[in-house]
Amino acid sequence: MSEALASSNTDINFALIRKDFAILHQQVNGHPLVYLDNAATTQKPQQVIDAVARYYQLDNSNVHRGAHALSDRATADFENARRKVQQFINAPKAEQIIWTKGTTDSINLVAQTYARSQLKAGDEVLVSAMEHHSNIVPWQMVCEQTGASLRVIPVLETGELDMAAFASLLNEKTQLISVGHVSNALGSINPIKEIVRQAHAVGAKVVVDGAQAAPHLTIDVQELDCDFYAFSGHKMFAPTGIGVLYGKEALLETMPPYQGGGEMIEVVSFEKTTYNQLPYKFEAGTPNIAGAIGMGAAIDYLNQYDRPQLLAYEDALLHKAEALADAFDGIRRVGTAAHKTGVMSFLMDGTHPHDVGTLLDQQGIAVRTGHHCAMPIMEQFKIPGTIRASFSFYNNEEDIARLFEALNKAKMFLC
């Protein structure tokens, strides 16, 4: 192991961590799997899989109001997972943690409850040019519904937000800013605390898409002072179909329910329905109980390690891969922000990203190719998409070596 990587893991046995992820120990197309698609979804440690299986094997029951032991156990685990999320992001209260289907669902909830009830013609919503489609389209929809305008924060050629342009866009019409904490397409880490400070100075609220940040960074919503923070379980070693919306309590209290049905009510009659208290007024219907329990198990898994050490190891892998890419004749990296994590996007001269991805897959290398649900930034860079290798703490130097061996073969075949 290189000196850079060794210096980042003095207390953590990363080879042992890798054994927790059974899916990594398989052959794909006759080659050992190298999984470098972590920005799309992370793999699940055995502890998370066991927690989900245990719920279905021993405690499978609906939560809340059950008059039997299985429901009591399921409810206790479900609500305990909510408290684990609260602590994970340092939210003041568990009631500020709303279970959703994922980041997309969380952002749509804010758009269709808070924003739709607050925005009016002449108001402005700001998003950045590097956003994932799920942090663009919901705001386009709510602007169409309310007459508000959507304005775009420019992105520099390095993949960093143009903060001078951001400051110039802020005015008394600005009501809401929604921006990613970490770009899924470029890996750029955005200065959320400064964005929030400037936004609050003009009275605007801030929504943060934390889908790519939660697996890597330590999140403290009170320090950030953001108004809403959204992230997904499946990108941080938990099951698919479960996500989180954090909101400041005063805002959540004023927001109308997102959907109607069971659980989100207090009293129903044909004359009038009164809604449940936080967080339940936003959780209509039977929730993803197993997903929430799996999310709690994923947080337990992460919390057994020093997370700054995990991040340092991941960043050392990223820096090693970037150095090899810069030395590789014919590779151009896309996204060279000074502060980034997890993602290396690149192009190979004379090839299409999809063709390179197909040849890598034939050699057992899993990467993602295309626009990564971030078409506007690809259009700005005048490219069809990129090849994206994304890293987690269960990756290692051998994975990087295998990636570049495969890229050499792809170059010989395609160029």
- The phi, psi pair for 112, rounded to 5°, reads -90, -5
Count CB atoms within 10 A of the CB of residue 189.
21
Contacts 24+ apart (CB under 8 A), 367-370: 367/36, 367/37, 367/403, 368/37, 368/39, 368/40
Known catalytic membership, residue 415: no
Mapped onto helix, strand or coil, the DSSP state of residue 124 is strand
CA dist., res. 101 & res. 183, Å (int): 20
State which amino acid sits at residue 313.
Answer: Y
> Among candidates 349, 350, 339, 331, which has minimal Cα distance to 389?
331
| Residues sharing a CB contact under 8 Å with residue 329, sequence separation 6 or more, in sequence order | none
Mapped onto helix, strand or coil, the DSSP state of residue 72 is helix
Q: Are strands 243-247 and 228-232 parallel, antiparallel or unpaired?
A: antiparallel
Cis peptide before 138 (omega within 30 of 0): no
Count CB atoms within 10 A of the CB of residue 201.
10
- Contact between 193 and 63 (Cβ < 8 Å): no
30-63 in b/e form (b: 16+ CB < 10 A) is: eeebbbbbbbebbbbbeebbebbeebeeebebbb
CA dist., res. 131 & res. 153, Å (int): 10
Of 143, 226, 373, 415, the active-site residue reads 373
Q: Are strands 265-268 and 243-247 parallel, antiparallel or unpaired?
A: unpaired
Instruction: Count CA within 13 A, CB hemisphere, residue 246.
Output: 31
Tokens of 40: 């799309």
CA dist., res. 401 & res. 350, Å (int): 22
CA dist., res. 221 & res. 203, Å (int): 18
Q: Are strands 343-348 and 386-390 parallel, antiparallel or unpaired?
A: antiparallel
Catalogue the active-site residues: 373
